[in-house]
Amino acid sequence: MTPRLAAARAICRRWLVLYGSVAALVLGVSSVAGFLLGSAVPVDSLPAAGGGGSNGVFPPLTTVDLAVNNLTAMLVLLLGAVSLGLVTLFGLVLNGLLLGAVVGIAVQQVDPLVVAVLIVPHGVLEIPALLVASAVGLRFARLTVRYIRGLEDDLVTRRDLREAGYLVATAALLIVVAAYIEANVTLELAERVAGEEFAVA
């Protein structure tokens, strides 16, 4: 095993195995709850898809709009580091509920395959990036608790800061790439799958 690979595995073990799993669980449960809530919305009360100069479900946004929005969400998730994890957990629940509700509403208006095409291409990058940011926030929160309880000599170490910086930078890069895909690829793919009725006016 090369030194770089060994270092990467060590970082994953310290930051992602436990804290990333907790973040994924919270986001997953919240998404299911949001989906059930969104599916309960009467379809007759929803706007018709395809009108108003957008697809009626996912309004078109630019790469910058999406990147700024999701980088802001990432920063909020990182605030768990200074809030004993509370802001991170709240952000995960809020994002999960929103994601699930949007999907629950969308599948009532658009074919589920189209909804998947609208979410998966950028979601495979965006969601892991947000989970990485959440893991950083949660681990720093646990380190803070341990320091307050006298179980750690230092609040954070240089290694912690260096590894967290690497993870945050990686997450930010993934979010920017995901924003580009969402803004420039997603709708085109969805239009190819759904046909002309889905095209943006």
Condensed to tens digits (0 to 9), the pLDDT of residues 59-91 reads 567 999 999 999 999 999 999 989 999 999 999
How many CA atoms lie less than 13 Å away from 19 in the CB half-sphere?
29
Residue 193 banded pLDDT, cuts 50, 70, 90: confident
Assess contact for 39 and 103: CB atoms under 8 A.
Answer: no
Q: Which of 81 and 173 is assigned the larger pLDDT?
A: 173
Answer yes or no: is pLDDT of 188 > 80.
yes
Let me know how long the chain is: 201
pLDDT digits over 132-160, tens only? 999 999 999 999 999 999 998 899 999 99
CA 175, 98, 48: angle at the middle one, nearest 5?
A: 105
CB burial string 46-81: b at 16+ within 10 A, e below: eeebbeeebbbbbeeeebeebbeebbebbebbbbbb
Q: Exposed, middle or buried: residue 45 (CB in 10 Å: 0-12, 13-18, 19+)?
A: exposed
pLDDT average, residue stretch 164-168: 96
Residue 201 banded pLDDT, cuts 50, 70, 90: very low
Answer yes or no: is pLDDT of 199 > 70.
no
Assess contact for 93 and 23: CB atoms under 8 A.
Answer: no
pLDDT average, residue stretch 183-200: 75
Percent over 90 (pLDDT), the chain: 69
pLDDT average, residue stretch 167-180: 97
What's the whole-number average pLDDT of the chain? 88
